[in-house]
Structure 1
Amino acid sequence: MTNPARSAAVTAYVDAPSIIQEICWVAKQGAECRAKVMRSRAFWIRKAALFDRIAIKEAAMYVPEVAADVVEVAVVTARQLVSFDVEYNGLSLRGSELITGDDCRENVRQEYRKWRRTQRV
């Protein structure tokens, strides 16, 4: 049986580069110029999407207890994107105590889809 939530999450990354390519890109950007990267929204979107994709794969392969650490890292990086948007793009966190990790990960998927559309020529 197919999990509809997982299917929707996977479609967010249907045209994404491979996970290995993204790991290399994120690592290279992080190593080259840390101060500049900290202000790059593309870096935070791609990093959060990378960890979300890894968590999706792990959750599909293993029982929840085994995948829990990877899912938690995906939530942390998703929250980093939200924090970046709050600081630099005027996003408001009014009512932030109500925002769940799943909400943040869904936000990553939406923002990644928007970002990918702008990358096409």
Structure 2
Amino acid sequence: MNTTPNISSSDPEIVYAEAPSITREISWVARTSTDRPFGREADREFWLRKAALLDRIALAEEAPYAPSVSAEAASLAGNAARRLAEYDAAHYGLSPKGAELATDADHREYVREQYREWSLTQLI
């Protein structure tokens, strides 16, 4: 695990600063989803990037709009974040952090932490 002192590993502005554009990620998620052979489970990268994409969309809606307006985006982001946590639990076991996840906010923070760690090893 790579840690940077004095920087929150789940601060969205930092985590997503170097992320591909939302449009590019939508294309990647859609292409990856349709290119996967029927009956074959999606891999962790798919669930992580999809959860991060939906988190970014929700963050973009939550900033300028009232909670009632951004609720659907936040709910979708929370669902995708839980799906990633479920994938990790099923394939890697629950980490001490995973056992503490209780709310959508916890799950979305988990996505940010995982995306940050993953993105440090990627050339996107």
TM-score where L is the length of structure 2: 0.82
In the other structure, the counterpart of 1:68 is 71
Say what the alpha-carbon RMSD is for the aligned residues. Answer: 2.6
In the other structure, the counterpart of 1:88 is 91
> d(CA) in 1 for partners of 2:120 and 2:111?
14
SS in 2 for 1:14: coil
For structure 1, the residue ranges without an aligned partner over 5 or more in a row are: 1-6
Task: Assess, with a 3 A threshold, how the Cα gap between structure 1 residues 20 and 98 changes in structure 2: closer, same or farther.
Answer: closer
1:10: how far off?
Answer: 2.3
1:16: how far off?
Answer: 0.2
The one of 95, 102, 105 aligned to 1:102 = 105
The aligned runs of 1:23-102 (5 Å cut-off) are: 23-33=26-36, 35-36=39-40, 38-91=41-94, 99-102=102-105
Judging by fraction of residues, say which structure has more helix.
1
